[in-house]
Amino acid sequence: MIEETGSFRDPAGKIFYINGRIFRRLSKTGEKRFVFLHKEKIIDESIKKDYLIQTKILDNDEKSKLNLDVNDCILEHEKVPYISYPYEWSFSQLKTAAIFHLDFNLFLLDLGATLIDASAFNIQFIGNKPIFIDTLSIEKYSDGEPWKGHKQFCENFLNPLILKSKKGIKFNNWFKGNLEGIDTDDLDKLLGIFDKFSYNIFIHIYLLNKLDQKFKSNKSLKPIERKKFIPKKNLILIIKKLKKFISNLRDFKSVSTWDNYSKNNSYTEIEESKKKQVVEEFVKKNSFNLIADLGCNDGEYSELSLKNGCKNLIGFDFDINTIDKAYERSLAKNLNFLPLYFDASNPSGNIGWNEKERKSFKNRANFDAILALAFEHHLAIAKNIPLNQVIEWMVSLAPTGLIEFVPKNDLTVIKMLELKGDIFPDYTIQNFENELNIKTKILSKSQVSDSGRIIYEYKR
């Protein structure tokens, strides 16, 4: 049994794992909450409508087989292929998650229940589809109660979206630096007077911040009396208006280096065809459940891998614009493909309480294989990371994979070296092969370009 270190915040239930299966042990409070949800068919209806992760109650026989206490109320949840965090999502993905959260809350209100918080971490993506994973964030709705998750929704969803939409500032690194999201006071200071002419920005940012500041400035130890009665129809209206506002937000995009890389790269059509053939053959001969595509760009090779037998694919790229394009591809073609924002030279670390609340990229890496096509030179040349370290890091992510080496005489590397000069004497095909041979067994190598680009298939 392995305890989930990030599950400590909820006293109603704790997550743990046995043999890769995911369980939740409920406290008496959690059990009482769940009994209501189960009795009223709210759990079943939420699962049926694809809002909630597949969840079942363990019977005593199953608990006994797993050496669990039969007196405990224990749930089992469907396993998500890869856990991602909101600071790894693009604008479109966060917007999708925000609307999904609001739709789910509206759905629950119709059933006499509500969400008690609004953490973006409670939503995961399976392929391109969001799903809610925290069953105990749902409870019975009492008429007249306020929207408990309003402030958190603003910090986790609304504020990051407004920051990007109105100011063109990426929320990812800011969110990663503050797991509570983007503080409303910080955003209020960044927004101009004309931004606040918007009804929703005025209500949910400016006015909310003023009320919060007033609360903080109150020096009395006596609690502030607040009017709590909000009719259900008014609460629904507030949520619907906010949903409409978020739906109309547009991404403020800046031109990026790799915007049109899939169309404007240094490959000829014949070379591109060779490269695709190598990928097709590699995927076809293996039964991969989960592949990581490092430097996925707009997802062309990710889609190719899925078409040739891979079940789930997670793409990673530093360019936030291409991640959005990859997500659009996944949606348009209904692919089991989740592209994520990722800086390989500064990946997500273990952060949060006791550095165990949110896991690092490496600790979440449970991949069957990697595709690292036209990727290694972005670390070895662009980031000055020693070639042996680049290879060691890549092969540590999965037991097998494809790694493409891009030589110095390739046009892409030539451009990279124009400003730096050639300060990389160890960056050679011989050194690359030697280092790869030390750490793995090279199964095959295929030259895919006249410049000498070679794709290596390795196995640890």
Q: Is 113 helix (H, G, I), strand (E, B) or coil?
A: strand
CA-nearest of 146, 185, 170 to 343 is 170
Distance (Å) of CA 279 to CA 260, 270, 333, 345 = 21, 15, 20, 25
CB neighbourhood size of 28 (10 A): 9
Instruction: Determine the Cα–Cα distance for residues 173 and 249; give it in Å rounded to an integer.
Output: 21
Return the pLDDT at 335: 97
Residue 371 neighbours by CB under 8 Å, 6+ apart: 279, 291, 292, 293, 294, 296, 301, 302, 305, 401, 402
- Beta strand 290-294 with 312-317 is parallel
Q: 138 near 112, Cβ under 8 Å? A: no
Average pLDDT over residues 31-38: 95
CB neighbourhood size of 441 (10 A): 11
Return the pLDDT at 219: 59
CA-nearest of 404, 326, 386, 306 to 81 is 306
The answer, yes or no, to whether residue 224 has pLDDT greater than 80, is: no
pLDDT tens digits, 39-52: 999 999 999 999 99
pLDDT tens digits, 247-275: 999 999 876 665 665 555 567 899 999 99
CB neighbourhood size of 192 (10 A): 9
Structure pTM?
0.93
Across the chain, mean pLDDT equals 93
pLDDT tens digits, 375-401: 999 999 999 999 999 999 999 999 999
Return the pLDDT at 366: 92
Instruction: Determine the Cα–Cα distance for residues 181 and 64; give it in Å rounded to an integer.
Output: 41
Average pLDDT over residues 65-70: 95
CA-nearest of 336, 311, 338, 318 to 326 is 338
pLDDT tens digits, 286-306: 999 999 999 999 999 999 999
- If residue 97 lies in a helix (H) or strand (E), which one and from where to where? helix 91-110
Average pLDDT over residues 44-68: 97
Residues in the chain: 460
CA-nearest of 255, 265, 290 to 373 is 265
Centroid of chain to Cα 449? 34
Return the pLDDT at 225: 55
Return the pLDDT at 207: 85
Return the pLDDT at 297: 96
Read off the pLDDT band of 214 (50, 70, 90).
confident
The answer, yes or no, to whether residue 227 has pLDDT greater than 80, is: no
Return the pLDDT at 254: 73
Read off the pLDDT band of 197 (50, 70, 90).
confident
pLDDT tens digits, 73-119: 999 999 999 999 999 999 999 999 999 999 999 999 999 999 999 99
Return the pLDDT at 68: 96
Q: 199 near 208, Cβ under 8 Å? A: no
Q: What is the largest CA-CA distance in the chain?
A: 77
How many alpha carbons fall within 13 Å on the CB side of residue 277? 11
Instruction: Determine the Cα–Cα distance for residues 211 and 79; give it in Å rounded to an integer.
Output: 41
Average pLDDT over residues 322-333: 97
Residue 223 burial (10 A CB sphere; 0-12, 13-18, 19+): exposed
Instruction: Determine the Cα–Cα distance for residues 91 and 94; give it in Å rounded to an integer.
Output: 5
Radius of gyration of the chain (CA): 25
Return the pLDDT at 226: 53
Q: Is 138 helix (H, G, I), strand (E, B) or coil?
A: strand
Residue 326 burial (10 A CB sphere; 0-12, 13-18, 19+): buried
Q: 453 near 268, Cβ under 8 Å? A: no
Query: Which ranges of 178-299 does DSSP label H, i.e. alpha helix?
Result: 184-190, 199-201, 208-217, 232-247, 269-284
Instruction: Determine the Cα–Cα distance for residues 205 and 155; give it in Å rounded to an integer.
Output: 10
CB neighbourhood size of 61 (10 A): 9
Residue 376 neighbours by CB under 8 Å, 6+ apart: 387, 390, 391, 394, 403, 404, 405, 406
Average pLDDT over residues 171-176: 95
CA-nearest of 357, 325, 354, 365 to 341 is 325
Place of tokens 């020096």: 219
The answer, yes or no, to whether residue 147 has pLDDT greater than 80, is: yes
